[in-house]
Amino acid sequence: MSPIFTPVTSVAPNITKVILAITGGIAAYKSAILARLLIKSGFEVRVIMTAGAQQFITPLTLQALTGNEVHTELLDTKAEAGMGHIELAKWADLIVIAPASANTLARLAMGMADDLLTTVCLATAAPVMVAPAMNQQMWAHPAVQLNVQTLSDMGYEIIEPDSGVQACGDVGSGRLPEPDILLRQVINFKARLTVAQCLTGKKVTITAGPTVEAIDPVRFLSNHSTGKMGFALARACRDAGAEVTLIAGGKVSLMTPLEVKRIDVLSANDMLQAATRSVEAGCDIFIATAAVADYRTRDAAPQKIKKTQDEMTLDLVKNPDILATISHSYPDMFVVGFAAETQDVEKYARGKLESKNLDMIACNDVSRKDIGFASDENAMLVFFANQYQKPPVELEKMSKANIAEHLVNLIGSVLN
């Protein structure tokens, strides 16, 4: 029996306690929604509001949303005999300042401690995320940009503002991202802090989803792949420190992971061209999770084929083997394949590992109804090329996100 893979413990304490700090700006209304989203995602939230923030949204609103008292004063005699800022600073696992006004950026950059927010930021050991929001001309001002660079150099995590129409009527960069985007930024930042950075500095190309081979303008050959496994791996590689390019086939409708470059393709030939360009641009690891159609029609009909006869024969030709082409063309690159089989899983997986010159292959039995295509869960057997002298690893049934994390750790263990 193959050994069961056990999860790698986090390299940093789990982030569960978040201080949401709100400063003065019309975008403060988005912070109320963000507070609720953070709580729904399992975070415990306490709120700090500056005097300016309270001109746009009331502390009572945030208290009702979080169930916790909102903190507004630096010298509060009711809070631990006047040392409430120290208690807050020690309590937090993470501080998120959203929105962060130009004034707040300047005071943080100068190391000032003249209100509750700036004092807590100086007194905490927790990481601080800053989401600036202001008029586009203010955002572009050299003084603001200098303050942002200073904060970044000091270790603050800067969330870049969005572009678009602003409350003042101007159009440009400076808008606070929408609450759901801010939540994803927080979750991604948490992952980077708590996941082993085993792929730091590596460039990874991943193929995901099905390919689509046209029969005519309205019909095509394809398969049941949804791309979930490939997208989960893209997130896991990003969280492990890699620069990720994700090539998605067959009109995959999944949301692109933040900070991942996505390229959409349709056919197997399209995917091979995109993969080749990505690898030639610089790539350390190639992961092929896409379910590439084995065959395509020799010539797709230019017009819709009419149903005029009882039988129809399609003239099919073999598609290029993307994985084998890439692995043999770039032998120095670490290449990972996937095998979805319905029988003799280990036999076929080992055969592909050798014939396609792979470093590692993960295979699953898609005849099982509880895992594989369209499912959020999977189970894998993982095999390695002989030169690595690693025994097979069995990943028992779990979420595809967890499977992806384990696969990335296995890749990291081989490379490092």
Query: Which residue ranges are tagged as binding site for CTP?
Result: 294, 304, 320-323, 338, 352, 356
CA distances from 360 to 75, 372, 381, 391, 402 (A): 59, 19, 11, 11, 18
Neighbour-count burial of 266, counting CB atoms closer than 10 A to its CB (0-12 exposed, 13-18 middle, 19+ buried): middle
CB atoms within 10 A of CB 383: 23
Neighbour-count burial of 33, counting CB atoms closer than 10 A to its CB (0-12 exposed, 13-18 middle, 19+ buried): middle
Instruction: Of 230, 213, 231, give the one whose Cα is nearest residue 222.
Output: 213
Distance CA 295, CA 318 (A): 4
DSSP 8-state symbol, 167 = T
CB-CB contact of 101 with 68 (8 Å): no
Known binding-site residues equal 294, 304, 320-323, 338, 352, 356
Residues 6+ apart with CB under 8 A from 31: 20, 22, 53, 57, 62, 98, 99, 179
| Residue numbers annotated as active site | 168
Query: What b-and-e string marks burial along 187-218, b requiring 16 or more CB atoms within 10 Å of the CB?
Result: bbbbbbbebbebbeebbbbbbbbbbbbbbeee
Q: Coil, helix or strand for 247?
A: strand
Residue in this structure with the two tokens 């030639």, named with its chain if needed: 280
